[in-house]
Structure 1
């Protein structure tokens, strides 16, 4: 198992409040739930502070598929109408 962090930036928030560059917590939760459900993994926590994102526990057999391009493709496919976020980075630690 590996813990992975997905940093998410809400594109709509850039125009409204430049101070809050990360995004709305609701949008982050929605995106985290989509990722959790599709990859069938556990969501450890949601982070809202200097950056917005989510920590996931990834089984070893799913690590190679858990990357920025695959997550972006998944989100575009699942939530076309309201997806206004950008995956900034996907990082991990053992």
Structure 2
């Protein structure tokens, strides 16, 4: 398994991952991933044998923590194809996403 930044060539596969992983809500999650990607969020894919089997996004948001707003990273969505779940792919995506987000400050 390899985790790497998502490319334009991965977009259709990423949508398929979220559709499969989230069932009835899959289309909504896939659309969310599209919108976050377009906003400049960190977007990573996991590949097995050259095929995308997982995806994660880390976007920036503001948390209202009185007395101030705090800039935070939000890790969502995270999806792994059902046939590849429980094999450590989600864990690897989260670790890589945290590292990539930390590198962006």
Q: TM-score, normalised by structure 2?
A: 0.29
Greater Rg, structure 1 or structure 2? 2
